[in-house]
Structure 1
Amino acid sequence: MTTFESHFPPMASRTHEVCGPSAMAFAVALGARLGGKVLWVREAWRGDQINPAGVIPYLDPQYLLLAQAPSHLDVLASAEEALRSGSVALVVMELTQPVGLTEGRRLQLAAQSGKTMGLCILPEGMGSNAAQTRWHCTPIFDDANTAEDSTLQRWKIIRNKSGTLKAWNVKWNAQTRRINVVSEAAQR
């Protein structure tokens, strides 16, 4: 039987992908779980902003480095250099276009070289074959639990080079700063 702990955090020194409405929560929770600095790179043309105060329940904002790049290729190039340097625990790439096989392979090699984890946040259906795993994350709306906890989510591995595809219902525990698996029976 495979456990959540054997899959999260995902394999070290690799690049992974996440999609779905809760992808950003996955990225922040992963950064908190890994500890250390998180570099978050996104295209500068985007109108929305990441508010560092919004990550406080997960991660101390002083460990979140936000970078804006002029284009999709510049996001990938910046991420590749950061992965190779090994100076951060996690490099998050917020992308709006697919990652080609060559670019994906370069990210994998850079992650292995720098012993750093990479995470691409992608729109659904834009995954790369080079990614070690791809996760799909969605919130679970439950009227009974929403009032007391809005962090209930469904995290599902939809692609895994190791072969195991699995899904878990999880929620963030702000006191321990960890993701806890919630049994479906406990949600009722």
Structure 2
Amino acid sequence: MSADLAPHFPPRRARVHEACGPGMHGFAAMLAAQLEGPVLWIREYWRPEVLNPLGLSDILDPARLLVAQVKDQTDALAVAEEALRNGSLKLVVAELGEPLGLTPGRRLQLAAKDGRSTGLCLISEGNGSNAAETRWRCTPTFDPEGLDSTLQHWDLIKNKSGTLGFWHVRWDREAHRETHRLRVVSAPGERPGAAHATG
């Protein structure tokens, strides 16, 4: 991982962070792969999309993923708070469909601090909480060579304890089983041979 992303990713432990954008699920999976142990992924049962742990197998061992399906956001926040406070999970991911207020956001932060766990809320653009430690906008990026479906553009758009930035990243499928490799790469069109590939 490049030196300029390393201070920011994985995000600070014992805090709750947010990700938005169409690549936020990939961000969550890549974060989970960087951490040890089981991951709890909380989502509302009525959502039309289905989370398929096998679909993440290039990035994350599906056996590490625990999925909790809840009735609504109130239940999702209650489960996330308890799981963060318990401390037996390194990462708790919660998909939230409604805006997250300051008070629930602070409660999650206190629970993460108590349990020394990392929380990640997957939110719609504009639905974040002022209590979030960081917020990332994650967008899949088209690879003109058609070789890399994991290519993403990550914007760090909120950071309570540092600077903002952006990176193009990809998951190294060859190395992930041994080293969990996330690589910072050049933007499409800026890579060697890109002009030839698109010309």
TM-score, normalised relative to structure 1? 0.95
Q: d(CA) in 2 for partners of 1:101 and 1:49? A: 29
Q: d(CA) in 1 for partners of 2:50 and 2:5? A: 31
What is the aligned partner in structure 2 of residue 181 from structure 1?
Answer: 184
Q: d(CA) in 2 for partners of 1:10 and 1:81? A: 21
For 2:148, the aligned partner's letter is D
What is the aligned partner in structure 1 of residue 72 from structure 2?
Answer: 71
For 1:14, the aligned partner's letter is R
Cα distance per residue 1:5-41 (max 9 Å; x no partner): 1110000110000000100000000000112111000
Q: d(CA) in 2 for partners of 1:159 and 1:152? A: 22
Q: d(CA) in 2 for partners of 1:175 and 1:108? A: 35
* Helix, strand or coil at the partner of 1:10: coil
* Helix, strand or coil at the partner of 1:6: coil
Deviation at 1:183, TM superposition (A): 2.3
Superposition CA RMSD, Å: 1.4
What is the aligned partner in structure 2 of residue 172 from structure 1?
Answer: 171
* Long gaps (5+) in structure 2: 195-199
* Helix, strand or coil at the partner of 2:6: helix
Deviation at 1:175, TM superposition (A): 2.0
TM-score, normalised relative to structure 2? 0.90
What is the aligned partner in structure 1 of residue 153 from structure 2?
Answer: 154
What is the aligned partner in structure 2 of residue 26 from structure 1?
Answer: 27
Cα distance per residue 1:106-138 (max 9 Å; x no partner): 000000100000000001111110000000000
| Stretches of 4+ aligned residues off by more than 4 angstroms | none
Q: d(CA) in 2 for partners of 1:34 and 1:143? A: 31
For 2:87, the aligned partner's letter is G
Deviation at 1:150, TM superposition (A): 1.3
For 1:156, the aligned partner's letter is D
Q: d(CA) in 1 for partners of 2:60 and 2:162? A: 31
What is the aligned partner in structure 1 of residue 46 from structure 2?
Answer: 45
For 1:15, the aligned partner's letter is V
* Helix, strand or coil at the partner of 2:50: coil
Greater Rg by CA: 2
| Equivalent runs, 1:109-120 vs 2, <5 Å | 109-120=110-121
Q: d(CA) in 2 for partners of 1:88 and 1:109? A: 15
Cα distance per residue 1:146-168 (max 9 Å; x no partner): 2x111111011000101311000
* Long gaps (5+) in structure 1: none
